[in-house]
Amino acid sequence: MKIAIGSDHNGLALKQTLLAGVLQGDTVHDVGVFASESVDYPDIAFAVAQAVASGEFDRGILICGTGIGMAIAANKVKGIRAAACSDVYSAKMSRRDNDANILCFGGRVLGPGLAAEIVTIWLAEEFAGGRHQRRIEKITAKEG
């Protein structure tokens, strides 16, 4: 699986921990940031979202302070279904029922152990399709 990952300054430390741990072995492209200076999270969110929407990457992971800003920004890109998740169940369901293609969470909200567990579950979960596909199609139709 090819994964694009990015963070702002608030998510940098957690991103680095995930890259050194649970994401080893996957094909991962880190779009930044690489230093702790303040940045505008939409720039990172758009870079990851465009990489996923283009098909260059299968899924994306975005980390900011809470995950909310990254999700809002990423969802502005056509074809993206970004979900801000702070627990394992929500992450699993975002994939199974909503076919989320970007996972967002917060470096100020999650510790590294829970974040790694969420990422592992989210990457392993498949979209259930069926009645959920019809719902995704309704969402996609609104994108224009």
**Coil vs helix vs strand at 76:** coil
Phi, psi (rounded to 5 degrees) for 142: -75, -15
What the chain holds in terms of domains, given with CATH numbers, is: 2-142 (3.40.1400.10)
pLDDT, average across residues 30-34? 97
What pLDDT digit, counting tens, does each position of 86-138 carry? 999 999 999 999 999 999 999 999 999 999 999 999 999 999 999 999 999 99
Please give the positions annotated as active site. Answer: 64
The whole-number pLDDT of residue 4 equals 98
Q: Listing from the earlier edge strand, what are the strands of the sheet with 102-106?
A: 27-30, 2-7, 59-64, 102-106, 82-84
